[in-house]
Amino acid sequence: MTIRLSTEDTDFEARFSAFLATKRETSQEVDAAVREIIARVREAGDAAVAEYTRRFDRFDPAQTGLRVERAEIEAAYEAVEADTLAALRLARERIEAHHRRQMPESRRYRDALGVELGWRWTPLAAVGLYVPGGLASYPSSVLMNAVPARVAGVERLAMAVPAPQGRLNPLVLVAADLAGVTEILRIGGAQAIAALAYGTQTIAPVDKIVGPGNAYVAAAKRQVFGQVGIDMIAGPSEVLVVADGDNDPDWIAADLLAQAEHDTAAQSILMTDDAAFADAVTAAVERQLKTLSRGEIAAASWRDFGAVILLRDLDEAPPLIDRIAPEHLELATQEAESLLERTRNAGAVFLGRHTPEVIGDYVGGSNHVLPTARSARFSSGLSVLDFLKRMSVLRLGPDELRVLGPAAVALAQAEGLEAHGRSVSIRLNL
């Protein structure tokens, strides 16, 4: 049953804490299987990848080719409807324009002592992008992962996508091409992650792997972490809608259901100061559920993980928002800006009554790869920074070394690191 809490309840704190502690992920025990797949791919390379592909995706990459050819991409363009293609192009343009503004600047400066300090941002050389097959094969996610990488300056962007029985979603191919993916590999699962991380005879290794996947892919990413970088392991999606009573209940219900239809483990939360409005929204949810093609999924999500939190006053919202730390936060209130000012934990914030979260999923320009499961307390959505790294730069001349050197020698001595001290003192004739 959808949970209903009120800050007026005497046991609110206990119930809210219990609500926060609810686990939505069922972690499958796949570590051992994945460990074997990775070991086999490291050992046998392409042959192992081909074998797993025959077994899991039921086709022979030796016949179709491991790599998607240009002609297949051209054919995919033909297969996509004109308005969908136009929408993909618009999305790509907006994502690119926004992410260009995120580019950080390299910097060098000289401090008061004359010491030169600074940093230099450089792009990762090669990135692997995993795209799930089947239902969760979303072209929008291809854009969201690939465009920032290319904006950052990543030269090689290798996409791996499982092709059940050899077939690929044309929309995914088109999105990859629009986004500047430089090679598309018709492979999936832990074997694809292993191939990208360690390389094979025909696949060059990458420096980082991003993108969502099933339990096997997630476990493989965790296991290759260190050999390559990885992005966050994404959990089920969630939205927190903070709404006053002046909203149309049907609009807010639609927003809650847009999240719920993703997955039975998705979570939709309504927070409001108006009990009658909360009733109207829940009634609208029930009504809309009846006509949804993914109604069963959405109904299960709303029933098992949905929640309505009643506040005495919207001023109670910010500390509760921060504890929930939602992936998506809609502030559909009159004082959205003032609430935003007092909030610090959320992946992405959608302000006002005309910014449904779905705009951010597709064409807002901001990224839809966001921290889930309360990790917005300590992490951020995907950005160009995930495809850049920073070298720090230091330069002293003899004069600066004379000024700073003795303090370094003193600290080296205090830490018992004699050779550290000598590397400075030898230059000072100490």
Strand partners, 7: none
Establish if 201 lies at the interface with its own copies (CB under 8 A).
no
Establish if 247 lies at the interface with its own copies (CB under 8 A).
no
The full DSSP string for 264-276 is TT-EEEEEES-HH
Per the annotation, does 328 bind a ligand?
Answer: yes
Q: Which is nearer to its own copies, 66 or 224 (CB)?
A: 224
Establish if 255 lies at the interface with its own copies (CB under 8 A).
yes
Q: Is 261 among the residues known to form the active site?
A: no
Q: Which is nearer to its own copies, 58 or 377 (CB)?
A: 377
| Residues whose CB falls within 8 Å of the CB of residue 274, separated by 6 or more in sequence, listed in order | 244, 245
Q: Is 328 among the residues known to form the active site?
A: yes
Label residue 43 exposed, middle or buried (CB < 10 Å: 0-12, 13-18, 19+): exposed
Per the annotation, does 43 bind a ligand?
Answer: no
**Of the listed pieces 11-19, 159-167, 188-196, 383-391, which binds its own copies according to CB under 8 A?**
383-391
Per the annotation, does 237 bind a ligand?
Answer: yes
Q: Which of residues 82-111 bind its own copies (CB under 8 A)?
A: 83-84, 86-88, 90-91, 94, 97-98, 101-102, 104, 107, 109, 111
| Contact predicate 412/420, CB 8 Å | yes
Candidate list 57, 96, 177, 207; residue touching its own copies; CB under 8 A:
207
Query: How many Å separate Cα 227 from the centre of its chain?
Result: 20
Q: Kindly state the tokens that stand for 85.
A: 């293609």
| Residues whose CB falls within 8 Å of the CB of residue 212, separated by 6 or more in sequence, listed in order | 130, 132, 136, 141, 234, 369
Q: Kindly state the tokens that stand for 42.
A: 């490291």
At residue 228, the 3 state secondary structure works out as strand
Q: Which is nearer to its own copies, 6 or 338 (CB)?
A: 338
Per the annotation, does 361 bind a ligand?
Answer: yes
CA dihedral 338, 144, 212, 40 (to 10 degrees): -150
Q: At what angle do helices 139-152 and 82-100 cross, to 10 degrees?
A: 30
Candidate list 18, 39, 407, 430; residue touching its own copies; CB under 8 A:
407
Establish if 414 lies at the interface with its own copies (CB under 8 A).
yes
Establish if 400 lies at the interface with its own copies (CB under 8 A).
yes
Candidate list 226, 290, 313, 429; residue touching its own copies; CB under 8 A:
226
Establish if 62 lies at the interface with its own copies (CB under 8 A).
no
Establish if 39 lies at the interface with its own copies (CB under 8 A).
no
Q: Kindly state the tokens that stand for 2.
A: 């959808």
* Residue 214 phi, psi dihedral angles, 5° rounding: -75, -170
Candidate list 257, 281, 311, 317; residue touching its own copies; CB under 8 A:
257
> Alpha helices of 129-233 — where are they, by DSSP H?
139-152, 170-179, 189-198, 215-224
Q: Which is nearer to its own copies, 6 or 380 (CB)?
A: 380
Candidate list 39, 75, 283, 393; residue touching its own copies; CB under 8 A:
393
Candidate list 45, 139, 189, 236; residue touching its own copies; CB under 8 A:
139
Which residues are identified as catalytic?
327-328
